[in-house]
Amino acid sequence: MSNKLLEIKDLHVNAQDKEILKGIDLTINKGEIHVIMGPNGSGKTTTANAILNNPLYNKVEGTINFDGEDITNLKTDEIARKGVFMSFQLPEEIPGISVANFLKTAKGKVTGKPVKVFQFKDELKKYMEELKIKPEYAERSLNVGFSGGEKKKNEILQMLVLNPKLAILDETDSGLDVDAIRTVSKGIEMFKNENNAVLIITHNTKILKSLKVDYVHILVNGKIVKTGDQSLASEIEEEGYAKYKNMI
């Protein structure tokens, strides 16, 4: 049985006729945490959106395999049901739909099975306590009136409840204070096991301080120019991306 969860080969992606990704290769195995770092505009978010086949991004060349299946041209909702989750930089506000109802409906759609209500409520309560989310937030409209930190915690709550095979966290740490970053890191640790994987997309290293990361990839101008261990993130924190920009 293969341990590969995600395999991207020679991926070229355009957005609005502009070439963004210029041939990316990336393999993520079960049980691993990978980080993609890079300066603004390097293609980090495009990579995440391409995995989930966001129609605003056009795959020109390359393939994406997930858990042994080619998902390159599947629809976004089909990819989500296969077990891919993505948290957003700017989570949407959805008036009129409570956090609890949204999660209950989403869980039913992903699993294809009826959700056991009492079990779901217990699970939701437990995760909210762990993430220090006030219980009353379960009945509030999704993200409406939430602070930036509350929205990001809510994304991690969704990840825990939906329990995907691959969690892609796009700039989940941006705009968070130290305590909120710790809470988000705790949520990632709670989620992570030997059968799933995490892909963190970020341009700073704060969220990595309390996580054990397997691989760090530096993405510059649409290409992965360097892959290393966690020490590579520390190097970027101290020295920035200048020397990697010169590699393109």
Average pLDDT score, the chain: 92
**Both structure tokens of 102:** 């949204």
**Both structure tokens of 209:** 């301080």
Alpha carbons 247 and 134: distance in angstroms, whole number: 47
pLDDT in tens, 147-157: 888 998 999 99
* Ranges of each domain in the chain: 4-245
Alpha carbons 19 and 60: distance in angstroms, whole number: 9
First to last CA, the chain: 37
Given a contact cutoff of 8 angstroms between Cβ atoms, the answer to whether 151 and 91 are in contact is: yes
Given a contact cutoff of 8 angstroms between Cβ atoms, the answer to whether 219 and 13 are in contact is: no
CA dihedral sign, ordered 237, 49, 92, 16: positive
Residue 175's pLDDT is: 73
Alpha carbons 107 and 109: distance in angstroms, whole number: 5
Alpha carbons 217 and 64: distance in angstroms, whole number: 18
**Strand ranges across the sheet with 166-170:** 84-87, 166-170, 197-202, 33-37, 215-220, 223-228
**Both structure tokens of 244:** 């990697």
Q: Within 13 Å of residue 110, how many CA atoms lie on the same side as its CB?
A: 19
Task: Kindly report the pTM of this predicted structure.
Answer: 0.94
Phi, psi at 84, each rounded to 5°: -110, 130
Residue 171's pLDDT is: 84
Alpha carbons 93 and 144: distance in angstroms, whole number: 5
What is the CATH T-level fold of the domain 4-245, as seen in this structure? Rossmann fold (3.40.50)
Low-confidence ranges of the chain (pLDDT < 70): 1, 247-248
The dihedral region occupied by 126, where left means phi > 0, alpha psi between -120 and 50, and beta the remainder, is alpha
pLDDT in tens, 175-233: 778 888 888 899 999 999 999 999 999 877 888 888 899 999 999 999 999 999 999 99
Residue 1's pLDDT is: 56
- CA 143 centroid distance within chain: 18
Q: Which residues, in sequence order, are bridge partners of residue 11?
A: 24
**Both structure tokens of 165:** 């095979």
Residue 140's pLDDT is: 96
